Structure 1
């Protein structure tokens, strides 16, 4: 709950932009005006048979039919020992948001009957698409979200609050399959290679992950593989001292592949659960640096053919749609297995995370909204969807 409050507060740039756009869409309707409760036809709940109009008084909340409890989805099978979740991970589900539109329709039909509404038509759909594209959701994803939102609802009058609830449900549905904490398997040490372009937040993310796993009782070793930047090594050493985690370093300009090999040897000797290997910030158009990254992978596989067991790509949310090209490039070069999105507090276009989930389907292990240790948390699709559109969780 604390992280959700922080996420909502720091995603305000994105949510306020979306909210402004939605309010403008409804306000621009030629027939936009407050409605009375008598004018509002609430949307039936899933499975509920619509009833004809009646002259009897409306049912009180206590008389509404009982809504069935959700049935949790069966857990996905994994080829190895079930992964452990990041510390503080809470169960999440898009199912509740997916079911909310009907319930929201009934609630808002009574509680917000005075809110301005607009008929959902083709013009409104186009306006919604534009708002989502401006939030960096991308054209394809924006089209998919609005098409799903419109299904079965064309011709209905919707308020801003109802649209926000429907959008949150569609966003959560896209994000739910990719929301997975960083897994820890029985294999020791588990080697996690962390890659990304310059300034994406790799070093800080490694420090936060190391601290969190150490606090959860795991033995962690860090390898400062960015041997070209003394500042990156010093930053990792600060995080290592703070978390009580050893940080292996090498002289500036040393071969990072050699350091990674030595770090694997140490992690094995000391019985570490997790080895986090930092790498130099790499621009995807710098072929020499990319070849060096491939060398690191080749060398550590001489020690363990199954390593790296995870390759995390750290992305900066402020780069917008460029994040998609980074994922595409790093997947080919480093067999990326999961994503961490940082700096969501610094962008007005948080929708890029939705586009990434929709296009690539890679696990999103964590998101960051600041520089403090608790500003990195496991990704919760429902919390993210609500924060993005400006809803309370």
Structure 2
């Protein structure tokens, strides 16, 4: 019947839009979580800034914190814009649902009105009996009896469809009203965030103006900072190369021992000694993945690309990987730097072996080996693991130290001791 066709067509449309609705809701939830995470990072940055601002001297830490806040606020506005676009899609979708339900309700009521008119014309028992007895034969009379029974059931079912559709329509209108209120709140939040960003940019301009007034002094501070960073990086590179050299010597010793054992066996069996053919020197990667355990650990580390936990449980990246410009100075970062909370715990990002703990300028650098990969954690004021210890993912390995009054952790990822990788591509967002 016409009603069944209408119901099936609307049901098909409902199934088609259900998947899109779930995807939109999931996207909105993820954007909201991202926005809340950014706001926590902004609050942490402000807390660090308030602490350092108590001093009379403007520090590089303060400058970096303000710059990080500006970036975070811009990220939050971008997230709000994405949230609004997703919400607009949801509003459009829900508006379409309301329209479809209204159309459906009108058609159902028309069908029902027609049935009521038919029932009124044949409302007494005499008319029904005459309808049955007017059949040409018994078979037709039976079909007419079944038709009258089905007609009554169908009318009840249609009344239930109408009630259900009215309920769905009211629910969908409520959802649409809720979405429209959310959009209004987002517009207000966007405006407030833009005002916050403008104020922070004004604060940044004042700071940079103060910086330019005493440019010579801050250039000296920047140069000192770069020298300290270069010294730390030399120590990190040297330690990684030392670990590779140890692994290479171990592999070569094992090869020599295997050759010696083969010669002894040949002599015992009265066979010619095997000829030792010089082999091509192994690459760093081959040396570091030489054992089955190292191979498995390297593969596991690679498979977790994009899902490794951050080396601190709360904080934000203040300095990104690669070449960055700080006023007139250009710096090439081999990793990232996190600003975090006071006395924050530093944690291993994956299972591995602590290969070295190196003191540098009163702080510590911890190197953890994951087969072919190394993770580096520097600027720790204390360490809670020992050299040679096995660590697991998220295990506490120490406490972060302050730099220019701000708790700051440096983090790097190296492969085979030749290439430093961008940690942001490996860490979970």
TM-score (normalizing by structure 1):
0.21
Structure with the higher fraction of residues in helix conformation: 2
Structure with the higher fraction of residues in strand conformation: 2
Higher relative contact order (CA 8 A, sep 6+): 1
* Rg larger in structure: 2
